[in-house]
Chains A and B, each alone.
Chain A
């Protein structure tokens, strides 16, 4: 087992100007489950492939433990790409399906059996070891595939969107399994996904990338509660955070008819370039529905109500601010979480206020967090 270190690691594809991965600095702890997440083209898969040895590193270094692997061939890196290939062999027993790579490598028979048995115990496959894969369920077959990687006892597991070709049911099931298995094995794991929900539910820490640049790395809680910039704020969380740029007048942010107080320490971070504006973010669940006219509240016209049983969300338009650039993820509507037992109708106007301490303030020019 080992740490993984990206030290100013850079990948520039021939014939392109902008690096696909730009000066990535990232330290992954021994035994940690780190998720690389970001939109398509952000450099997450390239970063993983650099670690795997599948992409050249044009600048900087990559270490596994203390060993500089920057120029080491993939098969000599002591890593395992999990799930790349999990077609099982029908004539071989489950044990042979798990251990055949060791047999190829010339590992003594007794040791193969021992490693396979250990892996089977962790994977709850012990009683199936001498059976054929035909006797297994879909989930068990997945675990045999994982067993193949486990018996090799690599220093690092790499997983690149491993769930993308599973159906929805098996995806959720396997997600939980991978996360709990990784914790039991304690093998350093780097996992790539475009799905922030997957990232939040699986990772010890999450690294968000955009345009080849690392935006922020932290625990799911840190990423959610204290995003470093507007990109992370908008990317993490579902439904997405409401983000808009508003005028600041006399120490308050003007959101529709509401005056949202701005802490002096935060306001002092503003520069002339901001022309008296800040970008303000607030999550759908940081909004309280209050009686219309309540001081400090603003009005939202309801366009759509999404009822999800335990939760309900209003998609609406902020009243009173016409040339407003307000978005929540993909939509340019404002999202409010409401009590599912008290749901307004389409066309109604509701008043909402932002819970104290639950707004995020970013520079209107740089998008970086203020305060």
Chain B
């Protein structure tokens, strides 16, 4: 019998990880360590495990590929691309009879994230597919802007988090990816084309499993991704030329990019020899315009559209308090103290697992609008929050860790 000699590669190795049954093939792990059934379509064995108050995802995979993916995920995390956070790689596994077992890659489960299969099986608004596609297009553009070639874009390799009325997409599988200085058009187009094929395939699969509304046109949704991606890519990177008298167009371009949620880090401006024509092209754009602004003002770290919504509420607060002339940061702190925190605190602790705080706030704002319309008066936030908790939140499923399969769905084998 050969003892297993486990090796953990991790930035902050957690000794408690060693307590998991590494001498057992992942597919045979006992139910009591598993968080729930696995989700998504993967070519590898993947399991979710409750571990020290959090959920981790464990994937069995060849050793070299595991180290490669771990390193790639670390890099993506460092450059702040929305992706799962790698915990480490464990090698040297052996079964009690001495047989070698595959290495594993461990990642943190993304809290409050939703796999696409769960989203499609919930009773969501009919444009869910469109909003998921929009989120994936934004993610793909962000990845391409930093030079990341994915190589296997699909809904299965993505997780979604609610972001106000939209979704934010996160990369969960970087196995086939590569980071380059810049991507060629060939690499970008290949990624987009593969994304289209995979998305249509995944939707056809849901359709074959009768999990998708019959009216959904799978091919049209796949095509929509290509269209959305190209629009966004052009808006972010395209050059435009105009007469030098129309200089306002420089500011207009920056504003348009801000609206799309991007900051312009560097803008190339060239003028032709006689100075009559100006050409501008964004060279460095960073996603997260609104979330960065909110973070600077309030210290709250939330997603882009949630931040947009909260900034709007902050603006109304400034107007209502007649504090337009006060320093923005000071007003923002007052807003956090007097509006944001009390609203979240009004939600009973046991119900807070259902949604992220920023998403709760967004939904309470929506709810307030809705009941104000009905009541034909301006409902104050505390009253709106109480009504939301009783009439909406109590009836919603927990989304802290959604891993389970859709009702009635059999577990896919891989």
Contact = CB atoms under 8 A, between A and B. Distances in A.
Given A84-B176, A134-B413, A164-B64, A14 B202 contact: no
B414 A87 contact: yes
Interface in A44-94: 52-56, 73-75, 84-93
Interface in A87-109: 87-93, 96, 100-101, 103-104
Given A74-B193, A75-B193, A85-B154, A91 B208 contact: yes
A164 B62 contact: yes
A15 interface: yes
Nearest to B218: A104
Contact of A165 (B65, B193, B219): B65
B25 to A, nearest CB: 11
A87 B205 contact: no
A13 B209 CA distance: 46
A84 B189 contact: no
Contact of A84 (B152, B187, B196): B152
Interface in B175-201: 175-176, 180-182, 184-187, 189-190, 193-194, 196-198, 200-201
Interface in B186-240: 186-187, 189-190, 193-194, 196-198, 200-202, 204-206, 208-209, 211, 219, 222
Contacts of B151: 84
Contacts of A93: 208
B134 to A, nearest CB: 21
A17 to B, nearest CB: 14
B156 interface: yes
Contact of A101 (B176, B197, B209, B412): B197
Nearest to B209: A91
Contacts of A56: 184, 186
A74 B189 contact: yes
B43 interface: yes
B42 interface: yes
Nearest to B413: A134
Given A56-B184, A164-B64, A87 B43 contact: yes
A13 B152 contact: no
Nearest to A15: B181
B208 A96 contact: yes
Interface in A25-54: 52-54
Contacts of B154: 85, 87
A165 B175 contact: yes
Given A53-B186, A92-B208, A85 B198 contact: yes
A281 interface: no
Interface of A is mostly: loop
Interface string B291-335: 000000000000000000000000000000000000000000000
Given A85-B194, A87-B42, A100 B65 contact: no
B41 interface: yes
B201 A14 contact: no
Contacts of B204: 89, 92, 96, 100, 103
B402 to A, nearest CB: 19
Nearest to A16: B181
A367 B219 CA distance: 57
Given A73-B189, A75-B189, A87-B156, A167 B102 contact: yes
A73 B186 contact: yes
A87 B41 contact: yes
Q: How large is the interface on A (under 10, 10 to 19, 20 to 34, 35 or more residues)?
A: 20 to 34
Given A85-B152, A133-B413, A134-B412, A54 B187 contact: yes
Contacts of B197: 101, 104
A272 to B, nearest CB: 44
Contact of B62 (A13, A85, A101, A165): A165
Contacts of B156: 87
Nearest to A106: B219
B208 A89 contact: yes
A273 interface: no
A52 B204 CA distance: 27
A308 interface: no
Interface centre among A86, A89, A133, A134 (most CB of B within 10 A): A89
Contacts of A90: 41, 205, 209, 412-414
B413 A74 contact: no
Nearest to A85: B152
Contact of A74 (B180, B190, B205, B219): B190
Nearest to B152: A85
Contacts of A103: 204
Interface string A101-119: 1011000000000000000
Nearest to B184: A56
Given A75-B193, A90-B209, A166 B62 contact: yes
A68 to B, nearest CB: 15
Interface string B135-158: 000000000000001011010100
A209 B201 CA distance: 37
A267 B413 CA distance: 65
A104 B190 contact: no
Given A13-B181, A54-B184, A165-B175, A88 B190 contact: no
A207 B15 CA distance: 47
B61 interface: yes
B237 to A, nearest CB: 16
A104 B44 CA distance: 26
A91 B202 CA distance: 10
A96 B201 CA distance: 10
Nearest to A45: B178
Nearest to A134: B413
Contacts of A75: 189-190, 193
28 contacts: A14-B182, A53-B190, A54-B184, A55-B184, A73-B189, A74-B189, A74-B190, A75-B193, A84-B194, A85-B152, A85-B176, A86-B43, A88-B414, A89-B205, A90-B205, A90-B209, A92-B204, A93-B208, A96-B204, A100-B204, A104-B196, A104-B219, A104-B222, A133-B414, A164-B65, A165-B61, A166-B62, A167-B102
Closest 8 CB pairs of A and B: A91-B209, A89-B205, A90-B412, A91-B208, A53-B186, A74-B190, A134-B413, A87-B41
Interface of A: 13-15, 52-56, 73-75, 84-93, 96, 100-101, 103-104, 133-134, 141, 164-167
Given A54-B186, A73-B189, 15 more contacts: A13-B180, A53-B190, A55-B186, A56-B184, A84-B152, A85-B152, A89-B41, A90-B41, A91-B206, A100-B200, A104-B200, A133-B413, A134-B412, A164-B65, A166-B62
